[in-house]
Amino acid sequence: MNTQDTHTPLSRAEITLTRHCALVTCGQTVKRGERIATANAPDLGDLHSPLNGTVAHVDPYRIRIDAGGDQTEVPPVELDGLTGPDLHARLRELGADLPPVGEFDTLIINGADCEPDVFARQHLMTTSQSTLEHGLAATIALYTPKRTVLAVLKGTSKTLIGTELVQVSEQYPSALDPMVAFKVTGREAADDALVIGLETLFQVGRIMESGLPALETVVTVGRVNRLVSVGTPVGQLLADAGEQPASGDRIVLGGILRGVAAASPAQGVARNTSAVTVISNPAPVAQDAPCVGCGECVRRCPARIDPAMITSYAEFGMYDKAQAEHVGACFECGLCGFFCIARRPMLQYIRLAKNELARAKAQTGEDN
Ligand code: SF4
Ligand code: SF4
């Protein structure tokens, strides 16, 4: 694994909206660090422009910004003296993807890279100890846990002061949040335990140190880790790494098992993007083929649910039935899709069902 902390000069950025609402319109000028979208999910932070420029495109899925114009940036925000819900609200406003504050006995920081060939968390542990410790102090102050655990892959010697170290196996999917929670608490979904990814700690630390929004993230491209601006086009990252995807290759934001295919090389990395991966043309493509009932996905599922049944319900929009089959317990490990002999888009169906259920729940909440 190599490391390279460079800021790619951006001529254009594309910010992906997942559960965010755009605050800007086409033609508007924005400053680096200006808030451009608000989060409408309880565990997401707001989004900010990574460059000075002009908004070139806005739709429900993305905001594209072309560089140019005035080079002044937004001023830092004063965070000293803020505590509890006020600090939590301000951190989310500045881009920290922090879950709601609640009663948690155990705070688990997941510092273990989850997928093969992804090393972003390892890179942060090696290069950003001081920022991570700032982030940890603020996070502990927010959630006031009785116990704070840092999960790392076996053989990792780095730790964070004030945490109890737990080592997890490198074997996939041992480092996924629910598996780590099980290792620490004996339960995969414990109400009194909160799992936060190391990159969120990094975001919080950067915000606390600077008073500025979280505009950067670490991604593994090839075997090189890079600190890049959120919104950097994946095509640009691959070109900088000397990788030229061939016709028919797919560019994936994330690792090979859990990543999401980029809509185009212009799509920008998100704050939670851990890697940019190219899947070469000969790999079998997922397709809307019918399930042949082989049962392989059920055998492979670490969450002990029925992926075949859940995805069949999701395929036909029967999300309440997918919920009754415990789609919410899915870890999104991707193993069912990886082993599906019919090449069904299992993880895509599962994410669709989860999103639709979350959307329906939010609407019901709004209606009440
Ligand atoms: S992605 Fe598939 S295999 Fe993994 S937990 Fe979810 S249903 Fe099970
Ligand atoms: S692995 Fe694929 S084909 Fe086999 S039961 Fe599961 S969904 Fe059906």
Cα–Cα distance, 191 to 80 (Å, whole number): 31
Residue type, 326: H
C-beta of 347 in contact with ligand 2 (< 6 A) = no
Domain 84-208: CATH architecture, name and number where available: 3-Layer(aba) Sandwich (3.40)
Angle, helix 129-143 to helix 198-210, in steps of 10 degrees:
90
Q: pLDDT averaged over the chain?
A: 92
pLDDT of residue 172: 95
Is the C-beta atom of 294 inside 6 A of ligand 2?
Answer: yes
Residue 233 CA from chain centroid, whole number: 16
Is the distance from the beta carbon of residue 297 to the nearest atom of ligand 2 less than 6 Å? yes
Asked, as a colleague might, if the bond just before 213 is cis with ω within 30 of 0, I would say: no
Q: Say if CB 353 and CB 307 are below 8 A apart.
A: no
Instruction: Name the 3-class secondary structure at 287.
Output: coil
- Structural contact between residues 200 and 252, judged by C-beta atoms closer than 8 angstroms: no
Residue keyed to tokens 């053989």: 155
Helices (H), the chain: 84-93, 120-127, 129-143, 177-185, 198-210, 234-240, 296-300, 307-315, 319-324, 335-339, 346-367
Asked if residue 296 has its Cβ within 6 Å of ligand 2, the reply is yes
Give the number of whichever ligand sits closest to the CA of residue 296: 2
Model confidence pLDDT, tens digit, residues 247-281 = 888 899 999 899 999 999 999 999 999 999 998 86
- Does the CB atom of residue 347 touch ligand 1 within 6 A? yes
Q: Is the dihedral of CA 347, 351, 352, 354 positive or negative?
A: positive
Nearest CA to ligand 2 atom 7: 308
291 lines ligand 2 (CB under 6 A): yes
Q: How far apart are CA 282 and CA 297, in angstroms?
A: 22
CB 94 within 8 A of CB 51: no
Tell how many helices (H) and how many strands (E) occur in the chain.
Answer: 11, 17
Expressed in angstroms and rounded, the spacing between residue 233 Cα and the centre of ligand 1 is 29
Q: Output the six-digit token pair for 258.
A: 């859990």
Tell whether ligand 1 has an atom less than 6 A from the beta carbon of residue 94.
no
Which part of the chain is CATH 3.40.50.11540?
84-208
Helix orientation angle between 129-143 and 84-93, rounded to the nearest 10 degrees: 130
Buried/exposed 266-284: b ≥16 CB within 10 Å, e otherwise: bbbbbbbbbbbbbbeeeee
What is residue 368's predicted lDDT score, i.e. its pLDDT? 45
User: Which is the closest atom of ligand 2 to the Cα of 289?
Assistant: 3
pTM for the structure as a whole? 0.91
User: Model confidence over 315-341: pLDDT tens digits?
Assistant: 999 999 999 999 999 999 999 999 999
Q: Which two tokens stand for residue 92?
A: 């989310």
Residue type present at position 331: F
Report pLDDT for 285.
67
Q: What are phi and psi of 110, to 5 degrees?
A: -90, 100
Q: Is the CB of 301 under 6 A from ligand 2?
A: no
**Distance between CA atoms of residues 207 and 205, nearest Å:** 5
Task: For residues 303 and 350, give the distance between their C-alpha atoms in angstroms, rounded to a whole number.
Answer: 13
Residue 333 beta carbon below 6 angstroms from any ligand 1 atom: yes
Determine the atom of ligand 1 nearest the C-alpha atom of 331: 5
Predicted local distance difference test score (pLDDT) of residue 69 = 82
Quick one: which ligand is closest to 300's CA? 1
Q: How far apart are CA 304 and CA 322, in angstroms?
A: 14
Index of the ligand 2 atom closest to the CA of residue 294: 4
Distance CA(88)–CA(284), nearest Å, equals 44
Residue with CA closest to ligand 1 atom 6: 330
Instruction: Name residues whose C-beta falls within 8 Å of residue 167's C-beta, 6 or more positions apart in sequence.
Output: 151, 152, 153, 154, 155, 156
Low-confidence ranges of the chain (pLDDT < 70): 1-8, 281-285, 365-368
